Amino acid sequence: MGTIKIGLGQFFCLTVLFELGTALVVNLGMESGRDAWLSILVGCVAGLIVFTGYAYLYRKHPDMPFTAYTRQLLGKYIGTPVAILYIILYINLAARDLRDGSTMLAMATMHNTPLFILSTLMLLSGAYVLHKGVEVLSRTSVVFALVVMLIGLFGTIMLVLSGSINLHRLLPVLENGLQPVLVSVAHQNYMFPFGEMVCFTMLMPYLSSVKKGPWVIAAGILFSAILLSFTMALNISVLGEDIVERSPLPLMPTISKISISDFIQRVDIFVVMVLIIGVFFKMAVFFAAALVGISELFHMPFRRMLYPCALIILFTSMLDARSFTEHLDEGGGLLYLVYPFFMLVVPAVLVVMAAVRAHFSAPRPG
Amino acid sequence: MNNMKLMNKISVFPALLLALLPLLLLTGCWDNVELNRRAIVSGVAIDRGPTEAEKYRLSFQVIVAEEISGENARGISPVAMYTGTGRTMFEALADASRQTARFLSLGHVRVLVVSEELAREGIKDILDVLERESDTRLTSLIFIAKGQPAHELMSTMTVFSKIPVNDLVEKLETTSKQFGYNFRMEVDDVIRGVQLTGGGPIINGVFTSGSREGADTNDNLKSISPKNILRISGLAAFKDDKMKGWLDGDAALGTVLLHNKIKEFPVVIKDKEGGYLSFNVYQSQVTLKAAVTDPEHPVIIVKIRQQAAIKESANSLDLTSPEVLEGLSEQLTGETIKQIKAAIASAREFKSDYLGFGQVLQRTHPRGWKQVKDHWEDIFAACEVQFDADAVIRHTDMRSNSFQINK
Amino acid sequence: MKSWSNKHKQATAAAPANQPAEGGAPYLSDNFARNLDSMQSELGGSPDLKVRRIQIGGERRIEAAAIHLSGLADTVAVNEFVIGSLLGNTEDLFPDDTDDMVTARASDQAAQETSHGDGAASGTAAPAEASINATAESAANSAAKSAPMFTAEPGTGRSPLPQLILNRALEIGDAVLQEEWKDIMLAVLSGDTVILLEGYRTAIICETRGGEQRSVSEPSSQLVVRGPKDGFVESVATNISLIRRRIKSPKLRLEYMKIGTETQTHVALMYMKGIAGEDLIREVRERLRKITLDEVLESGFIEELIQDKTFTPFPTIYNSERPDVAAGNLLEGRVVIIVDGTPFVLILPAVFTQFFQSAEDYSQRFDIAIMMRVIRYVSFLVLILGPSVYLALTTYHYEMIPTTLLINLLSQRENVPFPAFVEVLLMETAFEILREAGVRMPRVIGQTVSVVGALILGTAVVEAGIITPIMVIVVALTGIASFAIPAYNMAIAGRLIRFAFLIMASMFGFYGITLGLIVLVAHMNSLRTFGIPYLSPFVPLSVKGQKDTILRLPLWLMGPRKSPQQMRAELPEYMQLTTGYDEQLSPLILKNNTAARQQAEGEQHETDE
């Protein structure tokens, strides 16, 4: 890989924005009812365990992206198809994310704007940023991580001031025991959004410090999990479990409850901004992962595949499903059947291979 | 070399963008609606139509902005009302839209008034569109029109605001802050209330007093005493989504106290000698707890903490004596307990746990709640309520004893 | 510069040294009349070329001529010190007669010559001017070249006359011998006086630059309430003296270049040795050297050619009219480029935050300075987002506007014929026209323009019901916000971006604005100014760097000053690297060797095309 290095702080912010992505605004983990905030935290722990595997692979191959050490560990003939599958996965994830984002946007404010236009605009912006390089993306994330935090802080303070928060709505904790929480984790939360960290295996070679890098990313995951959990708790304590469960974007009605003497009202547009920022960075990271994969696998300039790849993402996202419901249903299927293969099975195999190889090739002490 | 470089940079990305830009500009601005193409709706009245095809009769109070703050006002009414009917709320909205020149914009709906007739029939069908539609706001206030068609409340000229709905909102704010037992009831509160197991929401009542004749014109305001006044009064008690009856007086006040929504209210007690004393309770904190030994027989503990000031004491009580004040505060708590008991009594009468006792049980004892959830109504009707009340008379305002004490 | 010296070399190679002087011949001929003729003919017989023919020496009279351009040269210096000393001091110059007095004077002059620039007696400008010649590379080179030639002067067997005159007769602070035609012509065109002697192929160039100049006065562009009131002028020498007077340190270094094949403009490069990074200085020097241009009339010409090449509205080089700003930046390790003929000096590298600093921040209390800075950043935001947010709010997200305000806006809009977007565009354009007119107008009429524009046009437009009053407020607010930014070029950048945001907002509301912001920040992140990320010290975040950005900590907290270069040196290696923007391959990051990069780029493009 190249000599491009990205600072730890920037990687932290990129991780946080990536994790928050769409997850911040959707009703994450609502399978466990009003304990969704708990299931996010548990999911985060599961995600961290999965990430340990990625980090292990990274430590073993600090200069290679995932697609490169796949080939090294599995051999050329198995490794290359697997690497190509991963590139397709990243393109698919980027496309799905784009679809998520543009549909949510259409639901929230832009009722009449064609989905295609919304997606195109978002994708073009992403392509522009990636055209400037991965480093620019990560630096930009610093600024917008700050923006998202500020919006969050503003929203929380305003909700407290307008007296909409009722913590009673979070009670009782664990009404039905731990089981629903664990079920929700097993169904969704370990994978979304934390399992999606698999695409960071493509970007981790850019980390400026092999030693601290994975820790920083793990801290980013934890931090974003706390934020997500907090947001979910906020949603439930403002709207109540039932409304949150039925809203695809619960953060919007939550924030729209802000009303300070009829002057500050309906600030849900800030949620839309958070949504746009999150979707943008998530999509851009997937996009970047796919591009890095392509350029590494085919020894092609990074930028040459930028626009073709953008077109593929755009059309994948448009042709993905006819309706949002279909899209979500499809997503659920992928989440059960396909993603675990990529996010758990293959990395696990690789970890074992790497460990075995390290065991045999390492000089025996004494 | 510079030129070549320039060309190269232009050619890749900006060229693409530039090619797209006119495309975007030409195809137009999809969601762009100019302000003067909008008809801002300030309030909606929902009535029950006579037939199934006209099940909902929606009356939209639309703001005529130019009459309110424009320079070339024509002297016409500051709001206009459009009415549409339909089988669903949305159809009714579409019907009303066809009558207006502009887009009916629901983003600023501050008040929804539902007629009592519809409320008694059930409100759950009308709530769906209110939470689904992204334009409407969850912070809109809901009222029940007490014994009259809801649209009449949208067509009454008011004194203090050119927009009648604003007058209503301001009245509610005033009563909820002082001397009243109504409080802000917003759309999502109602939705949560409807889903309360064995209970329902409570919604503010509103009605017009006086003659309806000319209420919707400026004639209404021409005399010093307006002919027709919008008044907020009473609470509509619901069981599930159906209205069961009205709460007034002590029962209403007690209900609001149990919901902890009241900030300041007057209390009048009668002292031993038969004179009256007025208090202003300026802080009142009611917390509910459930003591569960047997889920079938839960005990609800109502803990009341109040702070009050004496506002009127036209008698010869020695207010400088702590003992006297102690006695008065006991009477005060007695009064509060009386109100809450009245509230519980009416709730049992309506067989509706809108007081949230079930929720308390669920919070404190989720397992027990699961056992009794299905027949909670029966338990609610019989469960024991204990009181733990404490009131403090913080001060006696600007005088200690009344001058009557020196007689 | 480069091309000029190339030509010069070619010429030297082509024509042997002792050819008779024709128009473009490289050296003087020994024919005195012919020299005079060709000089006059080369300037096209220009009437302001003054040739004063005199005869010098006692018994053996020699024809001589003092040539200068009137107006460019200091008349007093020419008359008294050049012609005067030629006529007065050459009587006994001929080698036969030796005089004690003359030797004494000569040694005196020699002393003066070695310590040029220190002569305090002859006014403020003169010593600095002298230092120009002393340090100017060309002069030094030619002096070095010419030195052996004089000793080898054929046929005389004694010290040549020009050398003698230079050593013993001329009462002028700075004079050198010169025999290359180009240099002589350049000297005349720069305002020096050239003395030609009959029978000698060597001319004496006397430093007599002068003539009329604007005196140091208060800068017109960057005003402060409190702070020094002097500003740079058009003379590079005066400007250097203004800086030197503020930094009396031997570390302050000065380099000269002449840029512009036709204009031959003096460009001075100043930096603090040891504070400014060596690589930065090398880079700047390299970029300056690469400039091939006919004319350099303003520092903008230089700025455009040495900035990091990226399409951007943002300035990456700071310019200032204030010597205190230049001095302050020098001390912070930046490089200052002074161009003759303009009071605006270039300061580089310049990051984003620098354009929001004003000299006054350091004169005021720190808390007040912080407030002023915050206001500047806020006004920049208002400038780029003000109208677009208004547009997005009214045409897309009307639910956010408080109801009462909405009613107000609605009633205002009731009879306006244009859509809001057109309305904003009209007003913004009108405002830009007004501003442009106001700037170009003579100061007396400028007042009228602002009165007519702001008051009459504004009220008329509202009264006629063409534009809503709130729009006038919004546009006026953005206009005022643009003036709150201390750096004019940053304000222009903001104004340009504002229009882009307007279009985005009109089509997509807040969606467009948010995406626009992301792209804008990404764009700014991709910018570099001489290797330093444009948004530093925010991104990449440096806590130490925050001391003087939005915050302006009290001086005692700022601690020992660190230059950006020093800070850069302390940064881990990866942070010193560029975006790899110009690299065609995957985002490899190159070492910030821009010169090499530019070269590589050129090659790449050639292969591309």
Q: CB–CB of A150/A143 below 8 Å?
A: no
The pLDDT of residue C333: 84
The answer regarding whether domain A8-346 maps to CATH 1.10.10.10 reads: no
pLDDT per residue as tens digits for the range A98-150: 998 899 888 888 888 888 888 988 998 999 899 888 888 988 999 999 999 99
Residue C607 contacts A, CB cutoff 8 Å? no
A110, A133, A276 member nearest C579 (Cβ): A133
Q: Which residues contact C342 (CB under 8 A, 6 or more apart)?
A: C234, C297, C298, C299
Does the structure show a pLDDT above 70 at C458? yes
C-alpha span between A68 and A76 (Å, rounded): 10
The pLDDT of residue C602: 43
Does the structure show a pLDDT above 70 at C5? no
Report the complex ipTM: 0.93
Give how far Cα B44 sits from Cα of A265, B193, C407, Å: 19, 21, 18
Chain B residues whose beta carbon lies within 8 Å of the beta carbon of residue C507: 24-25, 29, 32
Residues linked to residue B302 through DSSP beta bridges, in sequence order: B288, B387
Does the structure show a pLDDT above 60 at A317? yes
Q: Is the peptide bond before A193 cis (omega within 30 degrees of 0)?
A: yes
pLDDT per residue as tens digits for the range A54-88: 898 888 888 888 888 888 888 888 888 988 999 99
C-alpha span between C202 and C164 (Å, rounded): 12
Q: Min CA distance, B65 vs chain C (Å)? A: 5
Write a three-state SS string for B110-156: CEEEEEHHHHHHCCHHHHHHHHHCCCCCCCCEEEEECCCCCHHHHCC
CB contact under 8 A, A109 and C574: no
C-alpha span between C33 and C108 (Å, rounded): 33
CB contact under 8 A, A133 and C587: yes
C-alpha span between B266 and B278 (Å, rounded): 7
DSSP C39: H
For the record, the structure tokens of C150 come out as 């004089």
Domain ranges (residues) in chain B: 35-247, 250-406
Residue C404 contacts A, CB cutoff 8 Å? yes
- A-interface mutation test, from B10, B11, B13, B169, most A Cβ less than 10 A away: B13
Does the structure show a pLDDT above 50 at C138? no
Chains with 3 or more CB pairs under 8 A to chain B: A, C
Whether the CA torsion C536, C541, C544, C548 is positive or negative: it is positive
Q: CB–CB of C165/C195 below 8 Å?
A: yes
Task: Say how many CB pairs under 8 Å bridge A and B.
Answer: 63
The pLDDT of residue A284: 93
Average pLDDT over residues C389-413: 87
The pLDDT of residue C557: 67
Q: Min CA distance, B167 vs chain A (Å)? A: 14
CB contact under 8 A, C402 and A135: no
Instruction: Tell me the pairing of strands C532-533 and B141-145.
Output: unpaired
pLDDT per residue as tens digits for the range A300-316: 887 888 888 899 999 98
A109, A134, A208 member nearest C397 (Cβ): A109
The pLDDT of residue C190: 83
Average pLDDT over residues A231-260: 88
B13, B139, B362 member nearest A128 (Cβ): B13
CB contact under 8 A, B34 and C395: yes
The pLDDT of residue A276: 92
Average pLDDT over residues C545-559: 70
pLDDT per residue as tens digits for the range A335-347: 878 888 888 888 8
The pLDDT of residue C115: 43
Average pLDDT over residues C42-66: 81
Task: Give me the percent of chain C exceeding a pLDDT of 70.
Answer: 75
Q: Give the pLDDT band (50/70/90) at residue C126.
A: very low
C407, C601, C606 member nearest B63 (Cβ): C407
The pLDDT of residue B178: 74
CB contact under 8 A, A175 and B359: no
The pLDDT of residue B16: 65
The pLDDT of residue B24: 59
Chain C residues whose beta carbon lies within 8 Å of the beta carbon of residue B5: 309, 601-602, 605
Lowest mean pLDDT among A134-138, A165-169, A206-210, B8-12: B8-12
B5, B68, B166 member nearest C411 (Cβ): B68
DSSP C438: H
The pLDDT of residue C194: 87
A112, A124, A176 member nearest B17 (Cβ): A124
* Chain C residue with Cα closest to B10: C311
B24, B188, B359 member nearest A239 (Cβ): B188
C-alpha span between B69 and B183 (Å, rounded): 30
C-alpha span between C59 and C91 (Å, rounded): 8
Q: The whole model's pTM is what? A: 0.84
Residue with the bigger pLDDT between C270 and A331: it is C270
Residue C520 contacts A, CB cutoff 8 Å? no
C-alpha span between C491 and C494 (Å, rounded): 5
CB contact under 8 A, B139 and A256: yes
Average pLDDT over residues A204-213: 85
C-alpha span between C288 and C292 (Å, rounded): 9
Residue C539 contacts A, CB cutoff 8 Å? yes
* Chain A residue with Cα closest to C541: A9
Amino acid at C327: A
Chain B residues whose beta carbon lies within 8 Å of the beta carbon of residue A241: none
Q: Min CA distance, B67 vs chain C (Å)? A: 8
Chains with 3 or more CB pairs under 8 A to chain C: A, B
C411, C413, C605 member nearest B5 (Cβ): C605
A2, A273, A303 member nearest C589 (Cβ): A2
CB contact under 8 A, B31 and C416: no
* Chain C residue with Cα closest to A127: C519
Average pLDDT over residues A92-101: 90
CB contact under 8 A, C397 and A269: yes
Q: What is the CATH number of domain B250-406?
A: 3.30.300.210
Query: Which of A247, A262, C409 has its CA nearest to residue B108?
Result: A262
Does the structure show a pLDDT above 70 at C130? no
* Chain B residue with Cα closest to C408: B69
DSSP C355: G
C-alpha span between B365 and B378 (Å, rounded): 18
Q: Min CA distance, C514 vs chain A (Å)? A: 6
Average pLDDT along chain C: 74
pLDDT per residue as tens digits for the range C285-344: 888 888 888 888 888 888 888 887 667 889 888 989 999 889 988 888 889 999 988 899
CB contact under 8 A, B34 and C408: no
The pLDDT of residue B4: 45
CB contact under 8 A, C521 and A143: yes
pLDDT per residue as tens digits for the range C153-208: 444 445 677 787 877 777 777 888 888 888 888 888 888 888 888 878 888 888 88
DSSP C276: B
Residue with the bigger pLDDT between C152 and A208: it is A208
Task: Please give the average pLDDT of every successive group of 10 residues along chain B, which has 407 residues.
Answer: 46 62 60 84 90 89 83 80 90 89 87 90 86 84 89 85 86 79 85 85 88 80 84 86 86 86 83 81 86 82 89 81 86 88 88 85 84 83 86 83 74
C-alpha span between B262 and B241 (Å, rounded): 24
- C-interface mutation test, from A98, A111, A139, A265, most C Cβ less than 10 A away: A139
Q: Min CA distance, C304 vs chain B (Å)? A: 11
* Chain B residue with Cα closest to C512: B29
- A-interface mutation test, from C351, C391, C534, C539, most A Cβ less than 10 A away: C539
The pLDDT of residue C58: 67
B1, B31, B36 member nearest C509 (Cβ): B31
Residue C79 contacts A, CB cutoff 8 Å? no
Q: Min CA distance, B36 vs chain C (Å)? A: 6
